[in-house]
């Protein structure tokens, strides 16, 4: 049986970014994101309803500030007591799982998509590769930090503002820098 481009995308295989099904799903997500961003903070109840419908799963208590951007929404899974400050970008080509009691500072970026090393496959951005991101409970990501594809962070991790996290870290650490490294244990 031939896999769909969506199935390849979610499985972390090379997939066609311009597949009509995926283009259509991104368009639907962008309409929801635009509706959310237009509301801003004028109607917090309605804006959070949009986010809860957009995401794959959420806890009861979540708060996301505008502006917010994502690719699909349905690959985003956040636990109870999730907070994302202004201007966050979460590219959810592969599943992104964020635990309970997590805080994202302003302008945090989380990417679960990459492009192939081969320049022929990379031309025009036509091919992508998804790599899941998994973030534990009680995480705090400082403003402007970037979490790259394939990263797993344990529980009670603090990511310093402006850091670029290119590899995984276990529980109870503060990481920072570019590339991020352990600054201290908690």
Active site residue 115: yes
The active-site residue, picked from 45, 65, 101, 115, is 115
Separation in Å, CA 28 to CA 11, 24, 74, 84:
21, 6, 11, 21
> Is the sign of the CA dihedral 17, 18, 22, 26 positive or negative?
positive
Determine if residue 67 is left, alpha or beta; phi over 0 gives left, psi from -120 to 50 gives alpha, anything else beta.
beta
Q: Which residue has the tokens 């979490």?
A: 147
- Asked if 106 contacts 121 with a C-beta cutoff of 8 angstroms, the reply is no
**Whole-number Å distance between alpha carbons of 129 and 145:** 22
Which residues form the catalytic set?
115
């Amino acid at each position: 049986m031939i896999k769909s481009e969506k199935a390849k995308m979610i499985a972390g295989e090379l997939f066609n970014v311009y597949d009509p099904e995926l283009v259509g799903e991104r368009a639907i997500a962008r309409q929801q994101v635009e509706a959310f961003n237009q509301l801003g903070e004028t109607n917090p109840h309605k804006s959070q309803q949009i986010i809860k419908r957009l995401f794959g799963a959420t806890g009861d208590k979540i708060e996301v500030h505008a502006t917010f951007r994502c690719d699909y929404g349905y690959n985003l899974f956040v636990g109870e007591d999730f907070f994302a400050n202004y201007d966050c970008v979460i590219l959810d080509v592969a599943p992104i799982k964020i635990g309970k009691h997590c805080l994202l500072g302003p302008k945090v970026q989380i990417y679960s998509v990459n492009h192939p090393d081969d320049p022929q496959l990379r031309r025009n951005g036509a091919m992508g590769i998804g790599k899941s991101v998994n973030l534990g409970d009680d995480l705090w990501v400082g403003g402007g930090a970037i979490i790259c594809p394939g990263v797993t962070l344990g529980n009670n991790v603090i990511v310093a503002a402006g850091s670029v996290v290119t590899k995984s870290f276990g529980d109870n650490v503060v990481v920072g820098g570019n590339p991020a490294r352990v600054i201290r244990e908690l």
